[in-house]
Structure 1
Amino acid sequence: MAGVDDGILFPANRLRDWTQEVFQKVGVSRDDALLLTDSLIEANLRGVDTHGITRMLCVYVERIQKGVMSAKTNLTVVREKPSTALIDCHNSIGQVGAARAMQMAIEKARQTGVAFTAAAHTNHYGATAYWAMMALPNGMIGFSSTNAPAVVAPTGGRTAMFGTNPICIAIPADKQLPVVLDLATTVVARGRINLYAKQNKPLEPGWAFDEHGAPTTDPHAALKGLLAPIGGYKGYGIMLAVDFLCGVLTGSNYGTHFPGFLADNMIDPTDVGSVFAAVNVESFMDLPEFTAAIDKAVREIKTSTRSAEVDRIYIPGEIEFEVKAHRLVHGIPIPAEVVKDFINLGRELALPFPQV
């Protein structure tokens, strides 16, 4: 889990209110600011701080201020059939295009059983789980994926060709928690490397390589080098498939065609592609029967024989649900270095960052 281990604790609602004001101050509409803020705060609450305000707020604001990402929403459905749609986002905020695309997938799946939609020419959309989980209250299985600037070389290569290219599948349950598999196709997301660099914390072995292709635990060297794919050549294959689905299929950027990373490129739009899907469980099985079966399968996994050194077997997404419950009570940790950035941003915008 890409979380912050320690920091100054802030109540979620206080961070939420201030973040929403910040986005509106730089030209984002109230409704879009609400959505954008919710996606980021939700990531922080779930412990995915790499995709929360901790890393993304100042980057998003700077990109909007410099005109690299449009604060104004402009979405056009350019291709549509009963179970599919392609939306041209015209460099709109990534979360806005993602919300529209996932909602269309859900609405279409009510009629067709399964629906697949895509957002083209868009931007970073935050945590992948936020979009896949939209399907859960509708009795559906949700899926989302997106591509990103290249940080991984193909197996046998030394040139960065693929991004962290995350995927998420969210599956509803009844009495058990939903199963939410949300992962980057690299061992860790690049955002986590950024957070470690911000705090001058060493990386775990096996996460990254330096610019010469040598394994490194130095986060600053890793940012100039490559990330390691999950599962070796299998991870390479998965990230390739994601890049082709999200980039090539939507007519957006892919591979080496990205102009740079979010925080490093303040000139050219990223031109990301993202895909979304919804599976209406009722098209295959009565929903209560399905969720009861998922509950049974989850219990079987969690009560299976554990290794001697393990106290508990987790289901994907379970840790994030527990972290959210904890942080709603105790607050979201923000590293001191990031708090300084927020204080400076607040001064710049005449919106003082809230004190603890």
Structure 2
Amino acid sequence: MIDVPGKLRALGFSAEDAQTLADHFLDAERRGRTGHGLSRVDWLATLPDLDPSARPRVEIAEGGYERWDGRGALGYLTLAAIVEAQLADPPERARVIVAAHCFPTGMLGYWVRKLAEGGFVAALTATSPARLGAPAGGPKLAGTNPLAIAIPSSDGRPIVADVSMGAVTYGDVLTGAAAPEELVPFGGAQAHKAFALALGLQLLVDSLTAADGYGAVLFLARPEGDPVPGLRELAAGVRLPGDQS
């Protein structure tokens, strides 16, 4: 059995941060998202600017809007701090959180699930190195830029949709599950749709962070309705997004 927190502490992370990272990686493994799982532990050791002591900071907090800066902290830890802060001091109705210098962010569904379990509707996107080009060819213009949406449920089983705009993820390439040339917008003949979403999300984040590097944008709100139980009844046992098989 691999001591995941121990390996992360050996990289210089505090016990608390090592456990936060390990929880994320192990959850990814359990959900079959191995590209976001334990392979990332060794990958972290290759990052030239890894700074285990860095801490994110809130720069603006105005009720319905917050701006954070990762300040060299891993995106995983920045998002963990943001999620914890929202649950500790939730918005009256809704809030937008912009995070500059927030990378890598990992499996976005993991973060919005925590918010849904806390009773919030949440949507999160994040940018990454440009690896997707237009299906017709040309330069790489957008990251795989996933979008994760979580809807809470009175039955305790939220719906969590988490979709990358790539046919495969960069994590799949890292683990050898996919070749680099397979990292293109998903959709085959309809790939222009995924490319449009990737580019739109890229510009959304870039316009709101107004900073070099990569970032994330989170929206959360208190729900007015409870549609998930009815959807599950209608689905009649069909596995829905975010459910574990």
TM surpasses 0.5: yes
Could you say which residue in structure 2 is the equivalent of 1:103? 84
- Identity over aligned pairs, percent: 20
Opposite residue 295 of structure 1, the aligned amino acid is: P
Opposite residue 317 of structure 1, the aligned amino acid is: G
| 1:80 paired to 2:22 | no
What is the aligned-residue RMSD (CA, Å)? 2.1
Segments of 5+ residues of structure 1 without an aligned counterpart are 1-13, 198-202, 204-218, 254-270, 304-311, 323-356
Q: 1:228 aligns with which of 164, 185, 191?
A: 185
CA contact (8 A) 1:173 1:295 kept: yes
Displacement of 1:99 after TM fit? 1.2
Displacement of 1:154 after TM fit? 2.7
Q: 2:229 aligns with which of 278, 284, 295?
A: 295
Within 1, Cα distance between the matches of 2:8 and 2:79?
18
| 1:34 paired to 2:19 | yes
Larger helix percent: 1
Could you say which residue in structure 2 is the equivalent of 1:252? 211
What SS does the aligned partner of 1:112 have?
coil
CA contact (8 A) 2:117 2:156 kept: no
Could you say which residue in structure 2 is the equivalent of 1:147? 127
| 1:241 paired to 2:239 | no
- The aligned runs of 1:124-203 (5 Å cut-off) are 124-175=104-155, 177-196=157-176
Q: 1:279 aligns with which of 217, 221, 236?
A: 221
The 1:162–1:82 alpha-carbon spacing in structure 2 relative to 1, beyond 3 Å, is same
Within 1, Cα distance between the matches of 2:96 and 2:50?
26
TM-score by length of 2: 0.90
Within 2, Cα distance between the matches of 1:113 and 1:131?
19
Opposite residue 131 of structure 2, the aligned amino acid is: V
Within 2, Cα distance between the matches of 1:100 and 1:24?
19
The 1:106–1:154 alpha-carbon spacing in structure 2 relative to 1, beyond 3 Å, is farther
TM-score by length of 1: 0.63
Segments of 5+ residues of structure 2 without an aligned counterpart are none
CA contact (8 A) 1:84 1:105 kept: no
What is the number of equivalent residue pairs in this alignment?
Answer: 243
Q: Bigger radius of gyration, 1 or 2? A: 1
Deviations 1:235-279 (A, max 9, x none): 1221112112223321234xxxxxxxxxxxxxxxxx320122222
The 1:103–1:276 alpha-carbon spacing in structure 2 relative to 1, beyond 3 Å, is farther
| 1:90 paired to 2:49 | no
Displacement of 1:193 after TM fit? 3.0
Opposite residue 315 of structure 1, the aligned amino acid is: L
Displacement of 1:176 after TM fit? 7.0
Within 1, Cα distance between the matches of 2:43 and 2:11?
13
Opposite residue 77 of structure 2, the aligned amino acid is: V
